[in-house]
């Protein structure tokens, strides 16, 4: 994600966003504009720029601080972004945090493989005679002290040490992540399909939720489109917000 903060004559230099075209094709390219001006004065034709952004599949979202500006409406509509004008400070925070989550991967984005390393956290204790504190590579370019520590994450390729993940190894360039990081980004990029909602009266079958085994009493039931299992409202919410996978689908996968 590329956030612009350069403002020229009231209109953000959107042109700069075009320069992040060197990003690999599997990544999503996004620009978030926080816009407070009511006028735009871009030296070149803004509509040409919108066309270019659309062509490069760069999604532009705008958070307006004052009032709706027509050019922003067109810009976000054409590039597939969102456009909101804030109501107050809390609303602004809400809108901003909404953009923290990456958007789902589009089927049109190209696939490429990335080499990744999954270093284990090595713990060394002070009482251990052989363990010696060592520098972490992540402290090389920040000024916060030498950072001599015992233990850490060791790059599986070159044994460089890091104290935090995810990181790109400064020595060999390998992307170092932990499995939970990967799982977390996976469910953001490939969100689960919504379950099919059906009124309880129309539902024929055993009136028990597949997940909590409770009796289905609410107005609607939710059906997984893949395995046709039924779930209650609470379980549907829990599955989509927390689990990110259908428990019945997983169960049938492991038994088959």
Closer residue to Zn ion in complex, CB, 62/169: 169
Order the strands of the 2-3 sheet from edge to edge.
Answer: 2-3, 29-35, 58-64, 83-85
> Can you tell me which of 87, 116, 171, 183 binds Zn ion, judged by CB under 5 A?
171
> Can you tell me which of 96, 212, 237, 245 binds Zn ion, judged by CB under 5 A?
212
Torsion sign (Cα): 83, 86, 92, 94: negative
Closer residue to Zn ion in complex, CB, 60/174: 174
Q: Does 209 bind Zn ion (CB under 5 A)?
A: yes
Closer residue to Zn ion in complex, CB, 41/171: 171
Q: Does 232 bind Zn ion (CB under 5 A)?
A: yes
Taking the complex as a whole, the smallest distance from the CB of residue 189 to Zn ion amounts, in Å, to: 20
Q: Does 224 bind Zn ion (CB under 5 A)?
A: yes
Angle at 28 between CA 224 and CA 243, to 5 degrees: 30
Closer residue to Zn ion in complex, CB, 8/253: 253
> Can you tell me which of 158, 189, 192, 243 binds Zn ion, judged by CB under 5 A?
158
Closer residue to Zn ion in complex, CB, 172/189: 172
Region of 86-94, 118-126, 151-159, 191-199 interacting with Zn ion (CB under 5 A): 151-159
> Can you tell me which of 31, 33, 63, 211 binds Zn ion, judged by CB under 5 A?
211
Q: Does 137 bind Zn ion (CB under 5 A)?
A: no
Closer residue to Zn ion in complex, CB, 34/174: 174
> Can you tell me which of 226, 237, 245, 250 binds Zn ion, judged by CB under 5 A?
226
Q: Does 247 bind Zn ion (CB under 5 A)?
A: no
For 75, list phi and psi in degrees, rounded to 5: -55, -50
Closer residue to Zn ion in complex, CB, 60/160: 160
Would you tell me which residues interact with Zn ion (CB under 5 A)? 155, 157-158, 160, 169, 171-172, 174, 209, 211-212, 224, 226-227, 232, 235, 246, 248-249
């Amino acid at each position: 994600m590329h956030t612009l903060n350069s403002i020229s004559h009231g209109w953000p230099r959107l042109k700069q966003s075009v320069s992040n075209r060197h990003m690999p094709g599997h990544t999503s390219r996004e620009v978030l504009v926080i816009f407070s001006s009511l006028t735009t004065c871009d030296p070149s034709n803004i509509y040409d720029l919108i066309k270019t952004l659309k062509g490069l599949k760069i999604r532009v979202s705008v958070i307006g601080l004052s009032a709706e500006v027509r050019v922003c409406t067109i810009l976000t509509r054409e590039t597939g972004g969102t456009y909101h004008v804030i109501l107050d400070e809390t609303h602004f925070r809400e809108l901003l945090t909404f953009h923290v989550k990456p958007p789902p991967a589009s089927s049109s984005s190209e696939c490429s493989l990335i080499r990744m390393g999954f270093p284990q956290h090595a713990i060394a204790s002070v009482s251990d005679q052989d363990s010696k504190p060592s520098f972490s590579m992540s402290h090389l370019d920040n000024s916060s002290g030498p950072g001599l520590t015992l233990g850490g994450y060791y790059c599986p390729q070159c044994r460089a040490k890091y104290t935090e993940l995810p990181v790109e190894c400064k020595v060999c360039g390998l992307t170092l992540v932990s499995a939970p990081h990967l799982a977390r980004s996976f469910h953001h990029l490939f969100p689960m399909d919504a379950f099919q909602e059906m009124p309880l009266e129309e539902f024929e079958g055993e009136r028990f939720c597949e997940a909590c085994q409770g009796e289905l009493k609410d107005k609607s039931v939710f059906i997984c489109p893949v395995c046709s299992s039924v779930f209650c409202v609470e379980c549907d919410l829990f599955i989509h917000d927390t689990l990110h996978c259908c428990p019945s689908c997983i169960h049938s996968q492991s038994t088959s």
